[in-house]
Structure 1
């Protein structure tokens, strides 16, 4: 075998090795919003409390055991990081302060004065009522898409939906329980 033939065979083997298909399991996309087990979303957020108004960008990653919610104000100021690890420990970091607890909503209320029901919002952001309490749902008569959820004293209003892998997921929504109000404009969804 000549040197040229040997080089050609080696190059062919290397190229074909690079083009093999992955051998891991292929996870089918979720068929409805309830079937989403892991998601990442990002966009713009506006938060109004009795004493304050905050706007910025957010990113939120969630899987069945953990989550990471980051809110960053204009020009990177006022960063707030709320995380839950696999052991159920919740941390809230803001202004060089880190607080630890087990309930994300309680930490936000205690430290920032924000009434934000994190556990319920993980459902509402997908256009679902929380399964922990009764809810009243209203649908748009033309599109049959969800228009509002009333649950636990909160009104969730859906103004726009976007198609994500064949699912209609919220793109613009408001979560309010006066005087507290959160507006979300979701620019990106990644779901599994």
Structure 2
């Protein structure tokens, strides 16, 4: 479906903001040594368990979305409280904003800020596709943004870089590349700073400025 005129106008004004999320893929070698790979997988399992214990977390940064040649970019603030989420996207130039809220347990979601008023849907990804034309797997992004696979289905593949951190994740037909990481701080493990998710003609790029997690 076509993106609404209201949304296109806001996204067009954001063309310069997208520069902050663009960049080439980090060409680091894939970890092949069996012993080093086993150590990386064990570290990722520990990291995944720690993150699973975090019921409340948030991040702020920038996002760029493209679907079939249409899209835009801007600021993103993601707040997760248990299974509930609130994702705010703002356009600095036009001061327009959109809010996506929902619950992972029920799947129900609401999108606000569109021409014609709020829209509700039984699943966030379907709601976004119908209202904006964007292809964003919201339920999986909750996990991918934190550098872990979506536990709802087996991962089709995961590669690790020479540093032992996830480099590429394949799941649900998407390829997720982790291009940069924020270092570990205290009990908090390393967190993705920049990632790109791609499937066919759809691309979602996220650059995180700040993570907020509370140790369990």
Which bin holds the TM-score, normalised by the shorter protein?
Answer: 0.7 to 0.9
Q: Which residue of 1 aligns with 2:201?
A: 179
Which structure has more strand as a fraction of its residues? 1
- Greater Rg by CA: 1
CA displacement at 1:129 relative to structure 2: 0.5
Deviation at 1:42, TM superposition (A): 0.7
Structure 1: 5+ residue runs without aligned partners?
1-29
1:153, 1:86 → 2: CA distance? 20
Aligned equivalents of 2:140 and 2:178: distance in 1? 15
* Partner Cα separation in structure 2 for residue 55 and residue 83 of structure 1: 19
Given candidates 155, 159, 165, the residue that maps to 2:175 is 155
The structure 1 segments of at least 4 consecutive aligned residues displaced by more than 3 Å after TM superposition are 85-89
TM-score, L = length of structure 1: 0.77
- CA root-mean-square deviation: 2.1
More relative contact order, 1 or 2 (CA 8 Å, 6+ apart)? 2
**Is 1:48 matched up with 2:63?**
no
Query: Which residue of the partner structure matches residue 6 of structure 1?
Result: none
TM-score, normalised by the number of residues in structure 2: 0.69
Q: Tell me what 2:164 maps to.
A: 144
1:168 aligns with 2:190: yes
Q: How many residues align?
A: 162
Q: Aligned equivalents of 1:127 and 1:43: distance in 2?
A: 16
The Cα of 1:87 is off from its aligned counterpart by: 8.8
Q: Cα offset for 1:31?
A: 7.2
